[in-house]
Amino acid sequence: MPWLYQFAELSFQAQEEIRPYYQHYVTNVSKAEMAISWNLALLLFVFCHSIKPKKILDLGSGFSSVLFRLYRRNYDPQCSVVSIDDSPIWLETTRRVLGLHGLSDERLSNWSEFIQENRDAFDLVSYDLGYEHVRCENFSKIPSLANEGGFIVVDDAQWMDYQILIKRARRGTFKCYSLRTITLDGWGRYSLLLVR
């Protein structure tokens, strides 16, 4: 993955564009320790520019929903973004924030409805849905949501139970790469990259 070697240079360019949105989000919408980390936000934005996904699945609405729709609006209007949450209240918060920034609030949906009705596979999946128990309970459903050759970014990989689940599930299903050096934040959170 050549883009990883250019991450520092590419992220420098992305910082200027997304910093005002991130600062607004962690000041007015959610605490920084609850939102995706600044490091992960940069990684996801650079990743979009590098792999140019046509179908993005945002599991766990929030700042990632702003980020993906910002990418769509400014760089690839043909890109489809679907944002899912297990909390109806949080979906409405996300809808409000997207409206505030003039970003599309189409394709926001509840997790239980989405997982029953979805027939799509995605180029990029960001998995940051709910709390630890929700993610552990639903992890087995996640790999099949990515296209063959698709990418899944799994946040909060520091959770030991989560790591065990991922190790068990990955045999023959996907390759797993640690993004710890790029995404580690002050709360000890970091991400993994799964390639299907």
Tell me the two tokens of residue 152: 């899944």
Give the tens place of pLDDT for each residue, 65-77: 999 999 999 999 9
Q: Which two tokens stand for residue 90?
A: 């949080």
CATH superfamily of 2-195: Vaccinia Virus protein VP39 (3.40.50.150)
Confidence of residue 162 (pLDDT cuts 50, 70, 90): confident
At residue 118, what is the residue type? N
Question: Is 93 buried (19+), middle (13-18) or exposed (0-12) by CB count in 10 A?
Answer: middle
Q: What is the pTM of this model?
A: 0.94
Domain ranges of the chain: 2-195
pLDDT of residue 11: 82
Q: pLDDT grade, residue 146 (50/70/90)?
A: very high
pLDDT, tens digit, 9 for 90 and up, residues 8-60: 777 888 999 999 999 999 999 999 999 999 999 999 999 999 999 999 999 99
Backbone angles phi, psi at 103, to 5 degrees: -105, 150
How confident is residue 165, by pLDDT bands cut at 50, 70 and 90? Answer: confident
